[in-house]
Structure 1
Amino acid sequence: MQKRSTILLGLIITGILAIAGCGKGKSQEVVVYTAVDEVFSEKIINEFEEETGIKVNVVYDTEANKTTGLVNRIIAEKDNPVCDVFWNNEFIQTIKLEEEGALQPYKSPSAEDIPDYYKASDNCWTAFGGRARVLLVNNDLLAKENFPTSVSDFVSGKYTGDQLAIAYPMFGTTKTMAAAFYAQWGPEKGKEYFQTVVDLGVNVVDGNSVTKDMAASGQVAIGFTDSDDAREAIEDGANVTMVYPDQGEDQMGTLLTPSTVAMIKGAPNEDNAKLFIDFVLRESTERELVADGFFDVSIRDAGKGGIKGMTISLEKIYEFMDESAKDMEELFSVAH
């Protein structure tokens, strides 16, 4: 009897030690690759670590490679993944990873109030926050009653080409905007819009910051740019107004270019990856990033009294990237 009790006690102790061993073996880390500037992402990462006790091993992009470097690294590691979560500052390269089979679905409960057109149809990524395409108007050159209210006003003939500036639509958010117009209106009308830009003799320049500077300095009356650049001009004291186009009830809204977060297929620390994604996608995190100046808008506010964004899906925009890019190259390489 005593021998049997000793065996039973031994089994119980072994079981307790096994359970304790499992607990000790549970991962307490997560690997995050991010293209979000460290000055903004570090704060969020520190808050996550403090709340959960999970250590975040973060890899930032380099200024030389930007998002492309991280994307190529994830693709190269696809058969033996190191990264758990990709937190990107845009959506095009994230969808590219989805196409490469490098992402796995995760439907975060934190994203329930994010509109579906900002999510992957297979739940491989979710978008949040972002910048808006805006028209920056010089108040010294245009009276308020002559301000544009729609992207269509930019090519309507109401303004002469020398009053207008836009970045080359083969790059950056202007390239994305071209694809969005193709997705919204169809390729024929989308291409016609940019053909009119050429025909009017609009100033086509190297980047949104240049269009911002031209509007701020009075070289042009209207610069097509992003909300972060426009906000910078306003904070610097320029006499300009930032106009969010197409905000009327029967208008399409403006293009919002969000950040995205996604789980890597075969993530070594899958449970912790889910916790990190849930944390980043919280409404409170999105609004914190707005308050900190990384985001200019909350996509949760779209259609709810906030900035009205286009409701065309990000996936649809991506479908037109190659076609619109080819057309933009033809239009603007000939023109310039």
Structure 2
Amino acid sequence: MVFSTFFAGAIIACQPENQQQKVVIYVSVDRTYAEPILTEFTAATGIDVLPVYDVEATKTTGLAQRLLREKERPQADVFWSGEFAQTLLLQGEGVLAPYEPPVAAALPPQYRDPEGYWTGMGGRARVLLINTDRLAIDEAPQSLTDLTSDQWPGSEMAIAYPFFGTTATHAAALYAVWGPEPARAFFTDLQRKNVQVVDGNSVVRDLVVDGQVSIGLTDTDDACNAVEKGAPVALVFPDQGPGEMGTFVLTGTVAVIADGPNPDQGQALVNFLVSPETEQRLMAVGGSQLPLYPGAAVSGCLAGQSIQGMAVGLDAIYGQLEPSKQDLSEIFIR
């Protein structure tokens, strides 16, 4: 991490010798994945990291609300989120400051804000997890729309509630790509088929692993966890054919907090987090599965695969998030 070390050295040279270098980061990425990376940053730069982690019960929302409450007297320098919806909310509320990490210029434009308010970091994809003891992989559905076919009864499929977490973000992406009416019809068809709707993606994974269902819609982190443990499962990336829309890829985000107490150190931490080296480190420990930098190697259970992502902007998804949640709450809560 030569660049980060150099940057930190420049910061330290401009500070009084007796002033302790520190940076405060609010983190909604699982601590298991984030903590080793933050420790590496301190080792590389000498800047102490003071992290505040979100809790699973509140997902990313808890820290976003905290940042909103602290807007007039910011306590954090950096926000590292495992998704992007709350980051765009904070951007709209004036909580974030523009900062464009030099290394991020190599990222595709959909993974960095055109005004510099956030940068993408790491990716997860939405996949169909198949229990291969119950369903041969060559007979599995290949498109999301296949799930509404009579070939697969609802009792054989599981999804997480589509108005929470990454499933809600995926639903908003479908609303953006297909349009609200076709997307609503898709989820209405799933509800009419009595698809099993459960409390989270890990529950979906466990139902597939245990053979209680044949097909589950989940994220690559949960799916790869099952593969790595030797479960009788396989991943299908939906809609990969010519002219098809591709699978939805969720990206994490990193942003600088406006008027944070340690702005230079915050920028140094952002530089470190969004670097290609940290992206590879995050994939190596299982914190993400897909690289955002063009040509970067895919590791872990997806090694060697070429995956077609859905071409949809984060702003378009964000614009459909609340309308889709309202629709899907009406469909799935009776």
TM-score, normalization: structure 2? 0.87
Q: Name the CA distance, whole Å, in 1 between partners of 2:114 and 2:208.
A: 39
Structure 1 residue 190: Cα displacement: 1.0
Match of 2:333, SS state, is helix
Structure 1 residue 182: Cα displacement: 0.4
Which residue does 2:326 correspond to in 1? 326
Unaligned runs of 5+ in 2: 1-12, 298-304
1:121–1:35 CA distance, 2 compared to 1 (3 A): same
- 1:279-328 alpha-carbon deviations (Å, 9 max, x no partner): 10001101111011111222235999732221201121110011101100
1:294–1:53 CA distance, 2 compared to 1 (3 A): same
Once the two structures are superposed, the pairs formed by residues 1-336 of structure 1 within 5 Å of their partners are 23-24=16-17, 28-300=21-293, 306-334=306-334
Q: Name the CA distance, whole Å, in 1 between partners of 2:233 and 2:220.
A: 12
Match of 1:299, SS state, is coil
Match of 1:201, SS state, is coil
Alignment-mate amino acid for residue 308 of structure 2: K
Identity over aligned residues, as a percent?
Answer: 45
Q: Name the CA distance, whole Å, in 1 between partners of 2:58 and 2:161.
A: 20
- Which structure has the bigger radius of gyration? 1
Q: What is the root-mean-square deviation of aligned Cα atoms in Å?
A: 2.2
- 1:136-185 alpha-carbon deviations (Å, 9 max, x no partner): 11112222331222112112333222222212212121111110100111
Q: Name the CA distance, whole Å, in 2 between partners of 1:303 and 1:324.
A: 33
8 A contact 2:130–2:234 mirrored in 1: yes
Alignment-mate amino acid for residue 52 of structure 2: V
- 4+ runs deviating over 3 angstroms: 20-27, 62-66, 301-306
8 A contact 1:182–1:320 mirrored in 2: yes
1:22–1:165 CA distance, 2 compared to 1 (3 A): closer
Unaligned runs of 5+ in 1: 1-19
Q: Name the CA distance, whole Å, in 2 between partners of 1:152 and 1:194.
A: 10
TM-score, normalization: structure 1? 0.87
Matched residue count: 315
Match of 1:71, SS state, is helix
1:37–1:22 CA distance, 2 compared to 1 (3 A): closer
Q: Name the CA distance, whole Å, in 1 between partners of 2:148 and 2:82.
A: 30
Q: Name the CA distance, whole Å, in 2 between partners of 1:155 and 1:113.
A: 39
